[in-house]
Amino acid sequence: MKVIDIEKEKIGLALIFNFARKESVLLLADGEEFILSRADDFEAEAQTLRNSSYFQSFLDRRMKCGISYPIEDIEKEIEDELKAESETVHQHKAE
């Protein structure tokens, strides 16, 4: 897995996508972590992540934080956001 701290490494999106075509990319930005990978190769992606010591340590750090959210709360938040987004789109169409 390629790791890129976008605050330290000033590289463009085209280069980041080139990396992602070959292997998963972990992007670090403002204290947050994002994973970029090919969408059409889930099986290979899952295997790559299983074999990645960096990703495994990332998961270990996440597990140690002690914060968890019930799936019901996450689902409700997503539903609320989608509803608000849909209402905004309908409002713009009416204007």
By CB atoms closer than 10 A (0-12, 13-18, 19+), residue 28 is: middle
* Ramachandran sector of residue 66 (left: φ over 0; alpha: ψ -120 to 50; beta: rest): left
CA distance linking residue 73 with residue 78, whole number of Å: 9
pLDDT, averaged per 10 consecutive residues of the chain (95 residues), comes to: 89 91 88 82 77 85 80 92 83 67
Model pLDDT, residue 75: 92
| Dihedral sign, Cα of residue 26, residue 40, residue 83, residue 78 | negative
The ranges assigned to domains in the chain are 2-67
0.85 surpassed by pTM: no
CA distance 27 to 56: 15
pLDDT at 14: 92
The pLDDT, as a whole number, for residue 95 is 64
- Residue 92's pLDDT is 67
Residue 78 has a pLDDT of: 93
